[in-house]
Structure 1
Amino acid sequence: MANEYIDFETLKYLLYDVHQLEEVLEGDRFADHDVASLDMFLEAVKEFSDRELFPYIKEMDEQPAYHKDGNVFVHKQVDVMMKKGGEMGLISGTFDYDAGGLQLPMLVYTASAFIQDAANNHLPGYAGLTLGSAELIVHFGNAALNDTYVPKMLSGEWGGTMCLTEPQAGSSLSDVVTKAVPTNEGYYKISGQKIFISGGDHQYADNFVHLVLARIEGAPAGTKGISLFVVPKKRPDSDGNLNPNDVTTVADFQKMGQRGYCTTHLGFGDADDCRGWLVGEPHQGLKYMFLMMNGARIAVGRGAAAIATAAYHASLQYAKERPQGRKLASDGKKNPEQGQTLIINHPDVRRMLLHQKVVAEGSLSLVLLASKYYDLKETMKDESEKNKYALLLELIIPMVKTYPSEMGAQAVSNGLQVLGGYGFCTDFILQQYYRDIRIFPIYEGTTGIQSQDLLGRKLLLENGKALELLTNEILQTIEEVSKYDQLKKYAVKLGEKLKIAQKVIQSLLHYAKKGDFERFLSDATPFMEYLSTITMAWIWLDIAAHSKNALVTGQKNHSEDFYENKIHAMKFFFKYEVPKTSGLSEILMDEETLTIADEKEVLN
């Protein structure tokens, strides 16, 4: 397989030109970094991914993780990912220097992780979850927990996980029943089960540090009674020896995709000797976990965008090499004497490839924008500016997680279609990408959960202030684009869609004001698709604005064709994707209710 799983030039264009990394580097936190050094870091990540990740993606699918005799066995490249990744700062990148990190901007970390995800989406999750669980300890744990666990997690010697889901509770965390009983010795006795724990066990880590949500005995019911605990697979003693901690790997789930990324079922306290240490204050576990969730949801959107990107490049390569059929002559007939043409010359194949391109590149730009907001909310000195970027991030996060996941799956499906019958065969990687990406609409809160979060919570944040801020950002781009005659009609079209969106939102808020919240949220998922499509139209218009500005001013870092291709992609998005909002607005403003359960059952 050729190493064409991303367009590195496009990644750099989005990072440096569109999202202007240098603006982020003005923050004091990033004073030691400059574009040249960060560019070298990304080049090193690409070289590592070319050598250690991409060549093994098919092999990891064909040799999946498995459970035997209480242990999980994974591909040998997991060891390389954790140890070499630890050395390169792929786990510790965003952490403070004091914690052993590189103090990288989230924007750069996201770009580096995107490269890894596109190369082999089965591997970066092992490092990513270790990062996430270490981050919880750094932010909320005491000095003892930090000293005991964090260094070996950031080096990749120990793995880390987040243990939320239980067999009887699923996504409903208020129903968590894993129990924590206090002792007089500074720890709690933990008992319960957790399922779907990604990266939960394997032979290449000396220990696993599980961040477990549990309910302290006597705690209030619901989410208010949930606490967070560090529960190691093996507990270190004062001499550094590792002793079993009564954590059992019950099983490894065999999955449709991401088969090289193990997903475990863990048991805690079967022998009544599982010890956990409280992180932070009692009953604050869910709050702590969700403070880290924005990073996790950016990571899901990033991973989906990466798979969609890799699938696009695999489809494009096939379409450039596969001869089939003949081009139509001017009279609408085919000349059988004429030689076969490459399928990339057929308009319908080009339509599918362009759909893949606009979803993949647009999703990447959206994910990078969220990462930029994440950085700015942390580094801005002015409180009103900090609040602005915090609100913008909160509003777009459900879309950042959902659009690349849902539309990425559609894009990969189009890629499979480009290959025709071969797309369905294991000789080619498209079928694997199709299976791999299908979990992303489920990860870290399903599409339905994200959609209810967007409509029910984020849209109403601070009396609609977040939505007002996003609208202002879009209007600013519309104004910028309107000065270019070639692009003006697209700016006008987006402006019209914004006005209709206000009507759609008001019609939905009518139900909320009446207290009919079930009806208000019943079409949350169509609303997610609706608002995401409008947001992506803005993302593409912004990309086109930067491209047009480079062409007009002559301040070009890329070829003229490169910029023209970005403008062409924007036009494609406006022709083929933006009109879908008309049908969605009709659905959302229709007063008929057909999905709310009542006495008369219609599903039989």
Structure 2
Amino acid sequence: MPSFFSKRDLHFNLYELLKVEQLTSYDYFQDHDRQSFDMVLDAAEQIANKMLHPLLTEMDRKEPQLMDGTIRVHEGMKAITKRFGEDGWINATFSYDEGGQQLPVTVQNAAAFIFQAANYSASVYPFLTTGAANLIRSFGSKELIEQYTPLMYSGRWQGTMALTEPNAGSSLSDISTAAEPTNEEGVYKITGQKIFISCGDHDACENIVHLLLAKIKGGPAGTKGISLFVVPKKRITENGLTLNGVTTAGVYHKMGYKGAPIAHLMFGSDETCLGYLVGEPHKGLNYMFQMMNEARVGVGMNATAIGTAAYYASLAYAKERPQGRPITAKDPTQPQTLIVHHADVKRMLLFQKSVVEGALSLLLQCGLWADLAHVSEEDTKERAELLLDLLTPVAKSYPSEMCCQTTSAAVQILGGAGYTTDFPVEQYYREARIHPIHEGTTGIHGLDLLGRKLTLHGGKGLQYLTEEIQETITQAKQSANPQLLDLATRLEAALERVQTVTTWLLNLSKQDKELFLADATLYLDFFGIVTIAWQWLKQAIQAQKGLITANSEENRNFYQGKLATANYFFDYELVKTSSLAVRLTSHTKGTVEMQPDWF
């Protein structure tokens, strides 16, 4: 078994739970089969083991530096970005006509999970380019597509998303970066600055292509006036590439995720900076939401991958570290026991396992919905689109928040050793913390879920999710298995709790909008726990089936572990929804009425 993820669990999710081969019945995926999917995962594991994981610690210790106007990154990233381009990872899900492999997003996300678990920082570079190139191919002109995407697919050019500005942050209506038309149609002079731009400048590629949000002068105020531009570090001219007035003003030094540079960029401050309009003016935010939503699911996967790596590191330590004796042992001359035998250590391991495997299950499910939304029609397409849209805030935020806690548990299992740089868990703990901030804070996603997603399209997304959960509950009840029946009964009660709380809050929204949204983050927690419990019931049903036909001790142990972890999640995590329901249906206004001067 690799030291940072479980291939067996990945195969369980893809082939036993999701039955991802079903996608090959669609024309777009017809050239694939189980064998080709396995080859993709094996290739990802090989790159992860040979190129990414060996640099995990070194990239953390030797973080990027701004030198002579350019950010210098770890030398190993040149070979890594080249390999991702040459092997077709950057555009693997795109069509054959674009040089892609028409690979399902579900399988691509599983491969990305392996890369992220091996070395999160190194994995960021190529998949940022995927998102940026996808925006150009979706909304850009034929000329932009032909000029930029092939070099981005090859890994020679890096792609970014450039949104955040000083004093604007997540409030994109307040951005001040400006675009002024030139005499050439679709070409604008860009002036302004962007901060916290991932891979915004580095020396592991030949050029950086920013997908940048700016306001065309004279356009509508607020978000309605935002347009999207391609702004390269070096623009294309008749004589080749020339600098385009993009200046790297600084590089941020972070608590974790240090191997990928985060840049502060200035546009048009020293010389003219040209940007090329993508699509129509003033529709930039709508376009950018495509990349942002893809990135949000990606952030959830990043967090899950780091949490998974930390789990396996702490599990390995617990199976090797002797300390203490069983509670019932009275003889101090007897040898010490391994700490994995202590109940509290098993509790911390179960906590990690329940979160990361539950989150991975949901994230791969989201990948399947993305694939079905792409290739299916009518009711199946609508259902997949609305389920994915509804659960994107959960898929991003639940793993992001909870893997801060699971990586903390990993450090705790190692004790004092976990707090040192001699073991990787301290790095995982630091790296996990960015994800509740990346691609919208948890608070923003709580507002998105409660304030918008629940009622979107007449509440159809929530209706579809309720039907999906109820179908799983019915399946568990029909199994006649006592454990599955117990889990189903408890999930059914939790689902009724969600319905009661949601109805109460939506009624409240008509009377007191501020109180309605005051605890939106807690509602997101509440909703997320029930969603992950649903995934665990699905896993438990499949594990029970697998246990009946298991032909080896290894497989029996795997399925027993799934069933035990499902029990743990319902016993220790799902029970939290009761107290959250009390808080969410309370009339008290502690946070609303609190005054700044009282702190």
TM bin (shorter chain): over 0.9
Report the equivalent of 1:254.
253
Deviation sequence 1:478-502 (CA, Å, 0-9, x none)? 1111122331011001101111211
What is the Cα deviation at residue 101 of structure 1? 1.2
Give the letter aligned to residue 534 of structure 1.
V
Kindly tell me: are residues 601 and 266 of structure 1, through their superposed partners in 2, closer, same or farther at Cα, counting changes over 3 Å?
closer
Residue among 494, 499, 510 paired with 1:497: 494
What is the Cα deviation at residue 518 of structure 1? 1.5
3-state SS in 1 of match to 2:191: strand
Report the equivalent of 1:467.
462
Kindly tell me: are residues 601 and 152 of structure 1, through their superposed partners in 2, closer, same or farther at Cα, counting changes over 3 Å?
closer
Residue among 419, 435, 460 paired with 1:424: 419
Listed as ranges, the matches of 1:344-493 within 5 Å are 344-381=340-377, 383-482=378-477, 483=479, 484-493=481-490
Q: Quick one: distance in 1 between partners of 2:598 and 2:258?
A: 34
Q: Quick one: distance in 2 between partners of 1:547 and 1:444?
A: 34
What is the Cα deviation at residue 238 of structure 1? 2.9
What is the Cα deviation at residue 558 of structure 1? 7.1
2:214 paired with 1:214:
yes
Listed as ranges, the matches of 1:265-276 within 5 Å are 265-276=264-275
3-state SS in 2 of match to 1:236: strand
Report the equivalent of 2:229.
229
Paired-residue identity, %: 48
3-state SS in 1 of match to 2:120: coil
What is the Cα deviation at residue 509 of structure 1? 1.0
Report the equivalent of 1:196.
196
2:337 paired with 1:341:
yes
2:314 paired with 1:319:
no
What is the Cα deviation at residue 28 of structure 1? 1.4
Report the equivalent of 2:70.
71
Give the letter aligned to residue 498 of structure 1.
L
Report the equivalent of 2:560.
564
Kindly tell me: are residues 487 and 249 of structure 1, through their superposed partners in 2, closer, same or farther at Cα, counting changes over 3 Å?
same
3-state SS in 2 of match to 1:326: coil
Check conservation: 1:81, 1:124, Cα contact below 8 A.
Answer: no
- After alignment, is 66-75 or 399-408 more displaced? 66-75
Deviation sequence 1:305-349 (CA, Å, 0-9, x none)? 0000000000000001111111122xxx53211111110010000
Give the letter aligned to residue 432 of structure 1.
Q
Give the letter aligned to residue 371 of structure 2.
D
Give the letter aligned to residue 238 of structure 2.
S
Report the equivalent of 1:98.
97
Report the equivalent of 2:4.
5
Kindly tell me: are residues 558 and 387 of structure 1, through their superposed partners in 2, closer, same or farther at Cα, counting changes over 3 Å?
farther
Check conservation: 2:13, 2:361, Cα contact below 8 A.
Answer: yes
2:577 paired with 1:581:
yes
Q: Quick one: distance in 2 between partners of 1:557 and 1:374?
A: 36
Kindly tell me: are residues 61 and 366 of structure 1, through their superposed partners in 2, closer, same or farther at Cα, counting changes over 3 Å?
same
Q: Quick one: distance in 1 between partners of 2:455 and 2:291?
A: 22
Report the equivalent of 1:293.
292
Give the letter aligned to residue 401 of structure 2.
E
Listed as ranges, the matches of 1:49-198 within 5 Å are 49-186=48-185, 187-198=187-198
What is the Cα deviation at residue 212 of structure 1? 0.7
What is the Cα deviation at residue 603 of structure 1? 3.6
Give the letter aligned to residue 316 of structure 1.
L
3-state SS in 1 of match to 2:183: coil
Following TM superposition, where does structure 1 have runs of at least 4 consecutive aligned residues deviating by more than 6 angstroms?
554-558
Residue among 504, 508, 511 paired with 1:507: 504
3-state SS in 2 of match to 1:595: helix
What is the Cα deviation at residue 291 of structure 1? 2.2
What is the Cα deviation at residue 98 of structure 1? 1.5
Check conservation: 2:94, 2:100, Cα contact below 8 A.
Answer: yes
Check conservation: 2:550, 2:556, Cα contact below 8 A.
Answer: no
What is the Cα deviation at residue 80 of structure 1? 2.0
3-state SS in 2 of match to 1:22: helix
Which ranges in structure 2 are unaligned for 5 or more consecutive residues? none
Give the letter aligned to residue 189 of structure 1.
K
Deviation sequence 1:280-308 (CA, Å, 0-9, x none)? 00000000000232211111011000000
Give the letter aligned to residue 55 of structure 1.
P
Deviation sequence 1:457-484 (CA, Å, 0-9, x none)? 1111222211111011001001111122
Q: Quick one: distance in 2 between partners of 1:89 and 1:334?
A: 61
- After alignment, is 221-230 or 265-274 more displaced? 265-274
Q: Quick one: distance in 2 between partners of 1:489 and 1:583?
A: 21
Listed as ranges, the matches of 1:584-603 within 5 Å are 584-596=580-592, 600-601=595-596, 603=598
Deviation sequence 1:69-106 (CA, Å, 0-9, x none)? 21101012211221001111221111111222111111
Check conservation: 2:251, 2:263, Cα contact below 8 A.
Answer: yes
Kindly tell me: are residues 480 and 553 of structure 1, through their superposed partners in 2, closer, same or farther at Cα, counting changes over 3 Å?
farther
3-state SS in 1 of match to 2:197: strand
Check conservation: 1:189, 1:272, Cα contact below 8 A.
Answer: no
- After alignment, is 354-363 or 87-96 more displaced? 87-96
Deviation sequence 1:547-570 (CA, Å, 0-9, x none)? 112234669997222112111110
3-state SS in 1 of match to 2:562: helix
**RMSD after superposition:** 1.5
3-state SS in 2 of match to 1:365: helix
3-state SS in 1 of match to 2:560: helix
Give the letter aligned to residue 226 of structure 1.
I
3-state SS in 2 of match to 1:191: strand
Listed as ranges, the matches of 1:510-589 within 5 Å are 510-514=507-511, 516-552=512-548, 559-589=555-585
Give the letter aligned to residue 423 of structure 1.
G
What is the Cα deviation at residue 3 of structure 1? 4.2
Q: Quick one: distance in 2 between partners of 1:61 and 1:287?
A: 35
3-state SS in 2 of match to 1:559: helix
Q: Quick one: distance in 1 between partners of 2:136 and 2:553?
A: 42
What is the Cα deviation at residue 16 of structure 1? 1.0
Deviation sequence 1:92-138 (CA, Å, 0-9, x none)? 11111122211111100100000000000011111111111111000
TM-score by length of 2: 0.97
Give the letter aligned to residue 90 of structure 1.
W
Q: How many residues align?
A: 596
